[in-house]
């Protein structure tokens, strides 16, 4: 109940502010006009005093949530109380009302500035678009990497390319879209995203980052939830991330979420650079401006997993662009591969034409995501057989048991996410014949514990994650 009352603080606080600003205008009018309007002026001050006290109480209750910087919240709280006291004094006294009002407005302005900082982040008042990076800026800075040239004891010179994915790509996104609620000023859910240590620590609900696994990292998956979902980030009404920004965060986590420089030396896989103190090595570090060595192009030479390598022709570029123009995210699984990941998360209206548009790249799609979309069994039936599809995300869609029979046409399907669907034991049984399956997510479905046990009896190698009903593959190495 107290938390609910606290949520009314932003609503209540604007009433005394508006009244005080109007009173300030009155105070600048000629003396004769002020005398004639004195009764209305005093009534306005009384309303302002009552509403400011109510706003102070609600603000105090809101501050107890622990989501805000304690020092700043405390200063804002006491200045708010001081504002209420000043309004009451201004209302009570008969002489010097105008100077008292002006002093009250000054105190209120300082308190309001602190409140704005708590709500919108530090530096919000004087911020401008010139101070915040765009996706184009971050992508350009990633491509325009920092180069380091080193000389060893044999005088052999090697050009080393370093990229700073977190500094140049991820940090600007978090600053522009996330710091308002998750920084030193405001820690919604106990989560801060303004430094490596806090990102790794997570919040009240646990970790938000699983390095190398974006699909199990709330820092990424919460971006994909429907806008109406309580866990969707940023919350509805806040400035949302673009498709390009979501893709950058996915790529960063997939690469292991490196916070420092990443080595892109030709012939090496993408690896974080370990910085060795100068006193511990005889390698001379030369700043970029002091070398005449031509930098090596920033390319990723990571070798794809041989198991996952599928020799397929590239998809038609016009087909890819056609899907992207309709808000669908189409990305390559890895550099040098023609395998594609297709994500419908940003599609505003899912219909049969979009599903049928996948037919031209049915050989290339290995990951398909419909998270939160109104995908039905009928639309699933219209999907072309994708013989190379490995991962299918159907969480929070409208698919039912009937749709599970359609999954048989995906010959290499390994992972299916059914979280939040109406699939029951009947649908789970229909998946028993899909022998390629290795992983099933069944959180918040109609599947029972008995249904899972029956499925496991037929498919003991399938790893099932059903929340508290999670059943893993038996350890065959254990002795009875």
Look at residue 74 and tell me if it is in a domain: yes
Residues in the chain: 480
Confidence grade of residue 126 (pLDDT, cut at 50, 70, 90)? low
Confidence grade of residue 65 (pLDDT, cut at 50, 70, 90)? low
Looking at the fold, whether 462 and 325 belong to one and the same domain comes out as yes
User: Buried b vs exposed e over 399-433: b needs ≥16 C-beta within 10 Å?
Assistant: bbbbbbebbebbeebbbbbbbbbebbbebbbbbee
Look at residue 401 and tell me if it is in a domain: yes
Look at residue 300 and tell me if it is in a domain: no
**Looking at the predicted structure, is the pLDDT value of residue 284 above 50?**
no
Listed residue (61, 74, 75, 68) closest to 187, CA to CA: 68
Q: For residue 436, give both structure tokens.
A: 């390629």
pLDDT tens, 102-115? 898 898 888 887 77
Q: In percent, how much of the chain has pLDDT > 70?
A: 73
Look at residue 297 and tell me if it is in a domain: no
Choose the final residue of a domain: 58, 88, 120: 120
Looking at the fold, whether 183 and 278 belong to one and the same domain comes out as yes
**Looking at the predicted structure, is the pLDDT value of residue 305 above 50?**
no
**Looking at the predicted structure, is the pLDDT value of residue 84 above 70?**
yes
In this prediction, residue 64 carries a pLDDT of 63
φ/ψ region of 256 (left if φ > 0, alpha if ψ in -120 to 50, else beta) reads left
Listed residue (409, 388, 384) closest to 313, CA to CA: 388
**Looking at the predicted structure, is the pLDDT value of residue 38 above 60?**
yes
**Looking at the predicted structure, is the pLDDT value of residue 309 above 60?**
no
In this prediction, residue 133 carries a pLDDT of 40
Look at residue 48 and tell me if it is in a domain: yes
Looking at the fold, whether 199 and 272 belong to one and the same domain comes out as yes
* Separation of CA 140 from chain center: 21
pLDDT tens, 395-435? 989 999 999 999 988 889 999 999 889 999 999 999 988 88
434-455 average pLDDT score? 90
Count of other CB atoms within 10 angstroms of residue 152: 12
**Looking at the predicted structure, is the pLDDT value of residue 220 above 80?**
yes
In this prediction, residue 440 carries a pLDDT of 92
d(CA 132, CA 447): 47
Which helix (H) or strand (E) segment holds residue 56: the answer is helix 38-63
Domain membership of residue 438 as a residue range: 307-469
**Which residues have a Cβ under 8 Å from the Cβ of 406 and sit 6 or more positions away?**
377, 380, 381, 383
Total domains in the fold of the chain: 3
Listed residue (205, 198, 186) closest to 63, CA to CA: 186
Using an 8 Å Cβ cutoff, are 447 and 424 in contact?
yes
User: Buried b vs exposed e over 452-475: b needs ≥16 C-beta within 10 Å?
Assistant: beebbeebeebebbbeebebeeee
Looking at the fold, whether 116 and 140 belong to one and the same domain comes out as no
Looking at the fold, whether 170 and 203 belong to one and the same domain comes out as yes
**Looking at the predicted structure, is the pLDDT value of residue 10 above 80?**
no
In this prediction, residue 303 carries a pLDDT of 36
C-alpha angle with apex 214: 209 to 215, nearest 5 degrees? 115
Q: DSSP letters of 262-303? A: EE--TTS--EEPPPPPGGG--PEEE-GGG--SPPPP----PP
Residue 463 sits in a domain of what CATH number? 3.80.10.10
Looking at the fold, whether 285 and 318 belong to one and the same domain comes out as no
**Looking at the predicted structure, is the pLDDT value of residue 297 above 60?**
no
φ/ψ region of 250 (left if φ > 0, alpha if ψ in -120 to 50, else beta) reads alpha
The span from the first CA to the last CA of the chain, in angstroms, equals: 54
Choose the final residue of a domain: 90, 120, 150: 120
Confidence grade of residue 468 (pLDDT, cut at 50, 70, 90)? very low
d(CA 279, CA 270): 26
**Looking at the predicted structure, is the pLDDT value of residue 295 above 80?**
no
- The conformation of residue 169, written as its DSSP 8-state character, comes to I
Looking at the fold, whether 282 and 157 belong to one and the same domain comes out as yes
Least confident of 67-81, 230-244, 261-275, 448-462: 261-275
Looking at the fold, whether 383 and 311 belong to one and the same domain comes out as yes
Sign of the alpha-carbon dihedral angle for 92, 96, 101, 107: negative
Looking at the fold, whether 50 and 88 belong to one and the same domain comes out as yes
Looking at the fold, whether 323 and 351 belong to one and the same domain comes out as yes
Looking at the fold, whether 390 and 464 belong to one and the same domain comes out as yes
* Separation of CA 469 from chain center: 28
268-294 average pLDDT score? 36
The alpha carbon torsion through 59, 60, 64, 65 (nearest 10 deg) reads: -10
Using an 8 Å Cβ cutoff, are 77 and 95 in contact?
no
Look at residue 256 and tell me if it is in a domain: yes
Q: In percent, how much of the chain has pLDDT > 90?
A: 14
Average pLDDT, the chain: 75
Look at residue 271 and tell me if it is in a domain: yes
The alpha carbon torsion through 160, 161, 165, 167 (nearest 10 deg) reads: 80
d(CA 138, CA 403): 41
Residue of 21 and 155 predicted with greater confidence:
21
In this prediction, residue 425 carries a pLDDT of 94
List the 146-151 sheet strands across, edge first.
271-272, 262-263, 157-163, 146-151, 284-286
**Looking at the predicted structure, is the pLDDT value of residue 124 above 80?**
no
Least confident of 7-16, 83-92, 249-258, 284-293: 284-293
3-state DSSP of 220-257? HHHHHCCCCCCCCCCCCCCCCCCHHHHHHHHHHHHCCC
In this prediction, residue 121 carries a pLDDT of 58
The three-class DSSP label of residue 356 is: helix
d(CA 97, CA 28): 12
Residue of 190 and 471 predicted with greater confidence:
190
Least confident of 17-31, 116-130, 261-275: 261-275
Which helix (H) or strand (E) segment holds residue 410: the answer is none
Listed residue (425, 414, 413) closest to 456, CA to CA: 425
Residue 50 burial (10 A CB sphere; 0-12, 13-18, 19+)? middle
Q: For residue 345, give both structure tokens.
A: 């998360």
Choose the final residue of a domain: 265, 290, 315: 290
Looking at the fold, whether 44 and 189 belong to one and the same domain comes out as no
Look at residue 298 and tell me if it is in a domain: no
Confidence grade of residue 391 (pLDDT, cut at 50, 70, 90)? very high
In this prediction, residue 68 carries a pLDDT of 58
192-212 average pLDDT score? 87
Using an 8 Å Cβ cutoff, are 313 and 363 in contact?
yes
């Amino acid at each position: 109940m107290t938390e609910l009352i606290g949520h009314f603080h932003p609503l209540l606080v604007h009433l005394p502010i508006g009244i005080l600003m109007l009173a300030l205008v009155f105070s600048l009018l000629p003396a004769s006009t002020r005398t004639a309007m004195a009764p209305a002026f005093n009534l306005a001050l009384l309303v302002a005093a009552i509403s400011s006290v109510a706003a102070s109480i609600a603000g105090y209750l809101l501050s107890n949530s622990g989501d805000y910087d304690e020092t700043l919240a405390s200063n804002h709280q006491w200045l708010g109380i001081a504002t209420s006291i000043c309004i009451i004094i201004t209302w009570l006294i008969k002489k010097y009302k105008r100077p008292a009002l002006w002093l009250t407005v000054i105190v209120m302005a300082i308190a309001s500035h602190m409140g704005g900082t708590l709500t919108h982040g530090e530096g919000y008042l004087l911020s401008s678009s010139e101070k915040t990076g765009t996706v184009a800026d971050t992508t350009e800075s990633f491509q325009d990497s920092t180069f380091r040239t080193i000389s060893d004891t044999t005088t052999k010179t090697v050009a080393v390319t370093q990229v700073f994915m977190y500094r140049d790509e991820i940090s600007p996104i978090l600053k522009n879209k996330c710091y308002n609620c998750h920084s030193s000023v405001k820690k919604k859910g106990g989560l801060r995203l303004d430094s490596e240590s806090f990102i790794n620590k997570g919040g009240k609900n646990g970790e938000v980052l699983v390095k190398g696994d974006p699909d199990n990292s709330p820092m990424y998956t919460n971006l994909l939830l429907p806008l109406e979902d309580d866990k969707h980030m940023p919350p509805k009404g806040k400035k949302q991330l673009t498709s390009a920004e979501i893709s950058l965060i996915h790529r960063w986590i997939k690469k292991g979420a490196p916070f420092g420089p990443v080595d892109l030396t030709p012939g090496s896989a993408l690896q974080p650079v370990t910085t060795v103190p100068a006193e511990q090595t005889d390698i001379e570090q030369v700043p970029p401006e002091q070398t005449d060595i031509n930098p090596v192009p920033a390319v990723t030479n990571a070798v794809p997993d041989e198991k996952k390598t599928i020799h397929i022709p590239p998809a038609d570029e016009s087909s890819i662009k056609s899907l992207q123009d309709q808000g669908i995210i189409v990305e390559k699984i890895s550099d040098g591969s023609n395998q594609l990941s297709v994500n419908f998360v940003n599609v505003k209206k899912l219909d049969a034409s979009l599903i049928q548009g996948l037919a031209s790249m049915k050989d290339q799609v290995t990951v398909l995501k419909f998270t939160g979309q109104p995908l039905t069994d009928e639309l699933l039936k219209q999907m072309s057989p994708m013989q190379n599809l490995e991962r299918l995300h159907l969480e929070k869609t409208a698919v039912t048991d009937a749709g599970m029979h359609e999954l048989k046409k995906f010959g290499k399907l390994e992972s299916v996410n059914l979280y939040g669907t109406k699939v029951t034991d009947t649908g789970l049984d229909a998946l028993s014949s899909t022998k390629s399956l290795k992983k099933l997510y069944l959180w918040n479905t109609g599947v029972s514990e008995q249904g899972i046990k029956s499925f496991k009896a037929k498919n003991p190698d399938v790893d099932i994650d059903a929340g508290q009903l999670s059943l893993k593959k038996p350890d065959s190495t254990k002795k009875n």
